[in-house]
Amino acid sequence: MADNDDRNPLESLGKAAKDASRAMAGLSAAAKNDLLLTLADALESRADGILQANRLDLEAAAGMSESLRDRLALNEERLAAIAEDVRAVRALPDPVGEVLDGRLLDSGLSLMRRRVPLGVVAAIYEARPNVTVDVTALCLKTGNAVILRGGKETVHSNAALVKVIQSALEDSGLPPAAVQAIVSTDRALVTALLHLDAYVDMLIPRGGAGLHRRCREESRIPVITGGIGVCHIVVGKSANLDKALDVVENAKIQRPSACNAVETLLVHEDVAAAFLPRLAERLQRFNAVLHADERALPFFGTTLAGTIVPVNPGDYDKEWLTRDLNVRVAGSLSEALEHIRRHGTAHSEAILTEDMAEADRFVREVDAAAVFVNASTRFTDGGQFGLGAEVAISTQKLHARGPMGLDALTTYKWIGTGDYVIRA
């Protein structure tokens, strides 16, 4: 099974993670919860050192964008919130050990599937120090070891956080290698990590489309891609337009930077005249910009020149992540479905309609992680779906689809017992 990747610079780190994963897999739920409590407390009691390291990152990021610096910045309050999140993960039920199913077979074999940790999880993510703790807590809760590779802008913060995490592990009598970070900014190490399939069981990339594509192309480790959301809302000809306005506002305005925010509206031509002027009026309140196709443009008149612009063809494939919204008029549901097929990212798609047959067809034909009828795309979220926690949102189809809860950090083992039974 082993690759002859003898000179992988992460070889010893990978091996240490695999060894540590064995100790973690054997822990009781109580032991894991004690560890998480120790960690949460340590994040607060050792705040000074963490914030000092964070200031080094912030100084180095002086010339960077405000939004990046904001994601990067920690303070007492944010650190307390991060610790509180660890305590929330602690309070969740432990999925490990659950028996998924089983039966006594005619052969005399008593068979069951037991849920077990994956082993070693690797995460590659953006410059957000809170993700370091977040992913750590979820992996420890499920008895996994983890290898972290955060954005290069967070090297000092992550080094400090991982030091605190490793102390918590040591204080609990556990191997510190259960949580390791690659803090070097050497990009070649990402390739080395992607080739560490001898030790790593699952890779979760969190970031832009480029990172996901690179992982899909280069990774020898099974990878969960996702998180890119070019989401659509179809406004059917029978939709309740008053309520539709509320849903579209929610899906676009509540948090435009989220992957489950809507990027393109597909409005049936029969209701375009009634709906589009009201849409413009509603979203104008939030300084939204509507990118309208040539069939939609005439319905807006000329009064809103600044906030209505003609759509460019490439816009349909853009994840705006801003208060921009593509608006296209569709002559039929088939036309809307074809648009989603061509431009969707299999994340979250919604239809607003009073027509049951139309709703049924939409649910059947749209191939996405989450499909909604008369609901906002913003619901695609581990917390909203009642999973308690969210590891990532998968837009691929294997292992996990859509919001991934703690279960997605586990696999199962077939266990067969008998009285020296043999196969006939």
Please report how close the Cβ of residue 352 comes to a copy of itself at its closest, in angstroms: 7
Phi, then psi, of 112 in degrees rounded to 5: -145, 160
- Rounded to a whole number of angstroms, the minimum distance from the CB of residue 138 to a copy of itself is 16
The DSSP code for 94 is P
d(CA 61, CA 320): 24
- Name the residue nearer to a copy of itself (CB basis): 140 or 224: 224
CA triplet 272, 255, 402: central angle to 5 degrees? 90
DSSP assignment letter at 388? S
The whole-angstrom distance between residue 101's C-alpha and the CA centroid of its chain comes to 28
Which DSSP string do the residues of 253-275 spell out, in sequence order? HS-TTSTTSEEEEEEEHHHHHHH
Instruction: Quote the least distance from Cβ 153 to a copy of itself, whole Å.
Output: 27
Least spacing, CB of residue 306 vs a copy of itself, in Å: 27
DSSP element (H, E) containing 171: helix 155-171
Residues 6+ apart with CB under 8 A from 267: 234, 235, 275, 276, 296, 327, 328, 329, 330
What's the CA gap between 424 and 405, in Å, rounded?
Answer: 41
Distances (CA, A) of 331 to 146, 238, 308, 337: 50, 13, 21, 11
3-class state of residue 294 by DSSP: coil
Distance CA 108, CA 42 (A): 51
Burial class (CB in 10 A: 0-12, 13-18, 19+), 24: buried
DSSP 190: H
Smallest gap from Cβ 53 to a copy of itself, in A, equals: 34
Q: What are the DSSP E strand ranges found in 150-192?
A: 179-181
Residues 6+ apart with CB under 8 A from 106: none
Helix (H) or strand (E) holding 124: strand 120-124
- Least CB distance to a copy of itself at residue 3 (A): 7
Identity of the residue, 150 or 229, whose beta carbon is nearer to a copy of itself in the bound complex: 229
Output the six-digit token pair for 179: 């949580």
CA dist., res. 271 & res. 279, Å (int): 12
Nearer to a copy of itself, 123 or 202 (CB): 202
Residue 78 or 385: the one with the smaller Cβ distance to a copy of itself is 385
Tokens 């919001």, located at residue: 403
Shortest gap between Cβ of 81 and a copy of itself (angstroms)? 19
Q: For the CB of residue 175, give the shortest distance to a copy of itself in the complex, in Å.
A: 16
Q: Please say whether the beta carbons of 412 and 100 come within 8 A.
A: yes
Measure the CA–CA gap between 175 and 219, rounded to whole angstroms. Answer: 27
Q: Measured from the CB atom, is 181 or 400 closer to a copy of itself? A: 400
Q: How far is the CB of 148 from a copy of itself (least distance, A)?
A: 20
Nearest residue (CB) to a copy of itself, 24 versus 168: 24
Q: In angstroms, rounded to a whole number, what is the distance separating the alpha carbons of residues 390 and 154?
A: 22
| Shortest distance in whole angstroms from residue 182 CB to a copy of itself | 21
